[in-house]
Structures are given as C-alpha cells and as structure tokens.
Amino acid sequence: MKQIVLTVNGRKHSYIPGESFLLEVLRDHLELTGSKVCCLEGECGACTVIMDGKSVNSCLILAEEADGAEIITVEGLAGEDLSPLQGAFLDNAAAQCGFCIPGQLMAAQALLDRNPSPSRAEVREALAGNLCRCAGYEQITDAVLDAARGPT
Amino acid sequence: MSGSRYERPASLSEAVTLLAGSDNTHPLSGGTDLAVAMRYGRAKPGLVVDLKAIPELAPSIEMADGLLAITANTVMTDLENDERIRKLLPALVEAARVVGSVQIRNRATLAGNLANASPAADTPPVLMALGATIVIHGPSGIRALSVDDFLVDYRTTALDPGELIVAVQIPMPARRSSSSFLKLGVRRAMEISVVCVGASIELDEDGSIVKAGLGLGSVAPVTLRPRNAEKLLVGNTASPELFAAAGDAAGGECSPIDDLRASGEYRKAMVPVLVRRALSIAQERSGVGV
C-alpha cells in the first residue's frame, strides 16, 4: 500500500497503512479506540467520525481514501475539559452502556457545527444513523438540545 | 486493501485508462456499497479507481440547455440542500433524503446509487419517472442511456468494462408538471424499502395528462417501469379514478418476492396504493385541475 498522510484531531500522521479501512487505521494504528467496531456495514453509526467537516461512517472508508483528509474523532472533542456537548451528555444521563456514545457525539457535533439551533426533529433526523441498543434515544436527544441551548 | 490496488487519478482520461487497462477494475466514489462488498469479500477488485480527485466529476448541479446536470461525485446531501432541486424536482429531494443516514448521504453519490443497481434503490425510480439520461465515458468514447436502458438486470448495468458514469441529466420540468416520491417501509429511517414509487406528471391547462412517468422499487429484480400504467394516463384527464386505474395496472406489472421485509403479496397490494397517492401528490404540486 501507498503512504498516506492524514490529520487526526489536529495532528498529522504519515505512514503506510496495514489496515484496509479508516476505522481500523484509527483504532489499531493510532490507538484511538473511541470509534467502535460494530456492524461494519454502515448501518449503526458506532464508527462515526467527522471527515473534512462531514459526519461519515469510518468503516466504509478505505484507508487510502483518507489520504489528505482532516479527521476528528471522539478523542478530539475535549480540550482541557470535556466539551459542552460531552458535558450535556453527562448531565442528561445520555450514556447507559456507552458503546454508541462516541458515534452519537460525533453525529451530534457535526449537526451543531452546521445547525447550532436544531429542532428536536432535526436532532432525531441527524442522529437517525446512530443506533442505541440501550434505547437511550430520548436522553441523547435531550442532551444534544441541551448542548445547543448553551449554558443558561 | 489486501489484494486490491488503489489509484486516485487526477483526470477523467486517466481514470478511463486505468479502468480499461486491466481486467478486474472498479470505480469508487462514495463507497457506501463497494466498501461493504470489499470488506466481506463479495467484491475483490484488482484495482480500485477513486474518482474523487477528478475535476470534471466534482460535485455540481448545473442548469443549462433545458437540462439539470448532476455530476458523478455529487452526493445525496448535495441534492437535498439544493434550492433548485427542491423547487423543480421535489421527488429527487424526497428520495435523496431517505437514503440511509446522514453519514451515508454525506458520501453516497447519485451515480453510485444507479451503478449499484439494487432493485430497492430509492433514487432510480425517481430518475426513471423524470426521464433522466445517464452520461457514460469509456474507452470507446461518450454515450448516454435512459435509466431503463441502463438498469439491465438484478445488480447489473449496461456499463461495459472501463466505463463509468460521469453525469446524470434530468430534463427541466415543464411548467404544469411536478413529481413525487413515496417510500413504504417498516421504520422511518435507515431502511430498505418495502415498496417505493417515483412519479412525474405533466398536464395541460385543462387537466389532461400530457406526459406521465413512473418508476417502482422493490417489486422486481430491477427498478421497474410500469408502461401499461403510464399508457393509461397519457391523453386522459387527471382524476382519482384514473390514478386508481393506473395504480391497479402498475400492480399487475410487478413480480415482487417474499423477503424479510415483506411478502410479495403485501407488496403487490401496496403498489396500487402508493402509485395513486404519488400521482395525486404530483398533480397537486403541478397546480392543475386540483
């Protein structure tokens, strides 16, 4: 395989991938295990990252396609403190087992980046590609809306 | 990917050369179908040709010469967000916005939805109903096919080795015409349809149907064009009874299978319902004789 250069959470990485897909590049090479291995066919959203500003399923992206891309994973949301969105997830008890949460956070972040004041319906639509087996959908939706409202 | 080489050419001619240059090549844009097939070994291309660096194919929706031209790398999200498509081709927006999820729609291309040729695909029925043309480049040059001619059989297109879709062209709708898309499914997102219908209708000022186009998904091995239903419509005055008759005719032209989503019997029963509703919505949108 050819060398790829990709920027992940602000840091540039350049290497020859042994992995076939972006998800495994992130998890196995870069050891960013926040993005999850779940359905591996673009149906569940547990592998969601933000690539060049758009939410995508990283399990569907060949490693070589990520050459030149800017990627944000769940590990990139927090600065010194958790991000407001992450705080809202905690405040609203959005995480139960937690497995879907990185994907939900990334889908939500991508939504808020393009639509800072979504309606409840818009949140549900934007996160429709993120399944939660614990059925935490109401709390997750509340959390995203809470984050959108900002500190009161 | 082990076993598959990858190239990302910077020009269309280079892409055609690569695609035609060896036996087992495959174009790649959104990858939402191909990536899954590759991961699970259903597709094993010797060479994957990533089209995303080709300027001529960069996402764009242009109106010129009475046509709306959508380039090969245009994704579903681009279509959803385009004001002109929302106004002029509402059915295409309605179909694009129910493909998969946001994550899928940010990558999935209109061209890829056609090239994958699933009989359940959402956009081909609309493109069929709208009389779209698929522009193809290959080693022998440029050619154009109707959707009907492009979709040959179950997951089989008319593309020859080395060929790729470069654009989809849709005739600008006439004044008293409009379109609609309906998708019947088990849930409200992330689903493959039980039945889906694309309808397009053009009327004259008296409410007589000048042109009618229909496309049906998930009711045959390939997106189906119910020609008997269309023949019933053209030349007659739009009415609920006429739409019901067309719906019944369309139902008669289908051969749906039983699968995990629905029985063939149920699908056959739903086709007339969706067809008459879709025609009715398209007529309402056209503003004639309602």
Q: Is A128 on the interface with B (CB under 8 A)?
A: yes
How many Cα atoms within 13 Å fall on the side-chain side of residue B243? 20
Look at residue B2 in the predicted model and tell me its pLDDT: 65
Please write the tens of the pLDDT for every residue from A108-135.
999 999 999 999 999 999 999 999 999 9
**Closest-CA residue of chain B to A67:** B8
Backbone torsions φ then ψ of B147, nearest 5 degrees: -60, -40
pLDDT of residue B259: 92
For B101, which of A21, A61, A129 is closest by C-beta distance?
Answer: A129
- The conformation of residue B257, written as its DSSP 8-state character, comes to P
Q: What is the pLDDT of residue A151?
A: 75
Range 59-78 of A in CB contact (< 8 A) with B: 59-65, 67
Look up the pTM and report it.
0.96
Tens of pLDDT, residue by residue over A29-74, are 999 999 999 999 999 999 999 999 999 999 999 999 999 999 999 9
Cα torsion B81, B85, B89, B94 to 10°: value is: -10
B13: left (phi over 0), alpha (psi -120 to 50) or beta: alpha
CB contact under 8 A, B103 and A65: no
CB contact burial B51-84 (16+ within 10 A = b; e otherwise)? bbbbebbebebeeeeebbbbbbbbbbbbbbebee
**What does the alpha-carbon distance between residue A15 and residue B176 come to, in Å, rounded to a whole number?**
57
pLDDT, residue B288, reads 83
Asked if B70 and B146 count as a contact pair (C-beta separation under 8 A), the reply is no
What pLDDT does A81 receive? 97
User: Which residues in B have their CB inside 8 Å of a CB on A?
Assistant: 1-2, 6, 8, 28, 31-32, 35-36, 38-40, 48, 50, 52, 77, 100-104, 106-107, 188-190
CB contacts, 8 Å: A65 with chain B: 28, 31, 50, 52
d(C-alpha A94, C-alpha B225), whole Å: 46
Question: How far apart are the CA of A24 and the nearest CA of chain B, in angstroms?
Answer: 12
Q: How far, in whole angstroms, is CA A19 from its chain's centroid?
A: 20
Q: φ, ψ for residue B68 (rounded to 5)?
A: -105, 115
Counting one residue from chain A and one from chain B, the pairs whose CB atoms sit within 8 A come to: 86
Verify whether the Cβ–Cβ distance A62 to B39 is below 8 Å: no
Question: Residue B17: what residue type?
Answer: T
Structure tokens at B271: 């086709």
Cα of B39 to nearest chain A Cα, Å? 8
Residues of A in contact with B6 (CB under 8 A): 1-2, 62, 64
A41 and B39 within 8 Å at the Cβ level: the answer is yes
Instruction: Write the CB contacts of B150 (distance below 8 Å, at least 6 apart in sequence).
Output: B114, B134, B157, B158, B159
Query: What type of residue sits at position A109?
Result: Q
Place of tokens 């380039």: B71
Contacts of B283 (CB under 8 A, 6+ apart): B178, B201, B203, B238, B243, B289, B290
The answer to whether the complex's ipTM is over 0.95 is: yes
Q: Write the CB contacts of B174 (distance below 8 Å, at least 6 apart in sequence).
A: B202, B210, B211
Task: Check residue B189 and give its pLDDT.
Answer: 87
Question: For residues A24 and B191, which has the higher predicted lDDT (pLDDT)?
Answer: A24
Answer whether B172's CB lies under 8 Å from B18's CB: no
Q: Is residue A122 less than 8 Å (CB to CB) from chain B?
A: no
Tell me which residues of chain A, numbers 88 to 107, contact chain B at a CB-CB cutoff of 8 Å.
107
For the cut 90, the answer to whether the pLDDT of residue A17 exceeds it is no
> Looking at beta carbons, which residues of chain B come within 8 Å of A45?
101, 103
Residues of B in contact with A42 (CB under 8 A): 32, 35-36, 100-101, 103-104
Of B35, B52, B103, the CB nearest to A45: B103
Residues 6+ apart with CB under 8 A from B110: B70, B74, B75, B76, B79, B96, B123, B127, B168
Chain A: residue whose CA lies nearest to B4: A1
For chain B, which residues score pLDDT lower than 70? 1-2, 290
Distance CA B210, CA B201 (A): 8
Question: How far is the alpha carbon of A98 from chain B, nearest alpha carbon, in Å?
Answer: 20
- Cβ–Cβ below 8 Å for A65 and B38: no
Instruction: Name the strand (E) or helix (H) holding A116.
Output: none
Which parts of B33-99 fold into alpha helices (H)?
34-39, 76-80, 83-88, 90-96
Alpha carbon distances (Å) from B84 to A112, A129, B61, B126 = 25, 27, 9, 16
Element (H, E) at B243: helix B240-252
Nearest to A41 by CA among A63, A58, A53: A58
How far apart are the C-alpha atoms of A24 and A119, rounded to whole Å?
Answer: 34
A63 to chain B, closest Cα gap in Å: 8
Q: Do B190 and A2 touch (CB under 8 A)?
A: no
Q: Are B125 and B217 in contact (CB under 8 A)?
A: yes
